[in-house]
Amino acid sequence: MKLTYLGHSCVHIDTGQYRLIIDPFLTGNPAAAAKADEIEADYVLLTHGHFDHLGDAEAIAKHTGATIVGIVELADYFKAKGLTTVGMNLGGSFQFPFGRLTFTPALHSSSVVINGTNVYLGVAAGIVLDLNGFIIYHAGDTALFSDMKLIKMRHSINLAFLPIGDYFTMGPEEALIAAEWLEPKHVVPVHYNTFGLIAQDGEQFVNRLGKLQIQGHALKPGESLDTDSWS
């Protein structure tokens, strides 16, 4: 399986049979490693409704025919645009063709600006993917919260994508605590260095993960991980 970090919180997953993209903020992202019309996807997975996570979901779904999966209010927003969607809610799981998806809590807000007004798009969420026994946790945008310990109780996480930018989400110190609680085998920091307000040192964060016996990967936009080589 190939996982490619495309910048900010956007991750592209190629299972060899299905292609998934999480939070595809590419257009308008100064750090993006791809353009929306270059993306191939069967499913677009969304953690919440902010512009830097919705991004190019509509454009990608239109040119690929991908199904958009998100919290029900967010899914309904795209369904009203004529797109194929699946709307779920926190704690709910569903067996998709690519694997099992579960929405977890996240402490954050979720809205889109329409005509100058914030429109509510349901709660923010994290995503747990069980891809043939390989477990990925994408935390979305979130503060540190103690129920991450419950996520660990339910899922043996192979790879976690954790925000470290601070200001809008947890910063590196909180993300290290999250990693201790979640106990993933690998961590990729996300949601940092896209804008000045969220500038962080990803390499330093990864070095500190090593002291917790967790393998970190400070991927640059466009870099990939091949999990087939992982034990």
Token readout for 107 is: 């402490």
For the entire predicted model, the pTM comes to 0.98
**Whether the predicted pLDDT of 231 surpasses 70:** no
CB 171 within 8 A of CB 8: no
State the pLDDT at residue 77. Answer: 98
Which among 28, 8, 30, 47 is positioned nearest to 20, based on CA atoms? Answer: 47
- Is 32 part of any domain? yes
**Whether the predicted pLDDT of 200 surpasses 90:** yes
Strands (E), 40-110: 43-45, 67-71, 85-88, 93-96, 99-105
CATH number, domain of 86, equals 3.60.15.10
**Whether the predicted pLDDT of 152 surpasses 70:** yes
In tens, the pLDDT along 24-65 reads: 999 999 999 999 999 999 999 999 999 999 999 999 999 999
pLDDT more than 70, % of the chain: 100
Which among 181, 124, 141 is positioned nearest to 157, based on CA atoms? Answer: 181
- Is 93 part of any domain? yes
State the pLDDT at residue 229. Answer: 82
C-alpha 48/C-alpha 64 separation (Å) is 21
Print the domain residue range for 67. Answer: 2-217
- Is 224 part of any domain? no
- Is 167 part of any domain? yes
**Number of structural domains found in the chain:** 1
- Is 37 part of any domain? yes
pLDDT more than 90, % of the chain: 98
State the pLDDT at residue 73. Answer: 98
What would the mean pLDDT of 192-219 be, rounded to a whole number?
97
Q: Are strands 93-96 and 85-88 parallel, antiparallel or unpaired?
A: unpaired
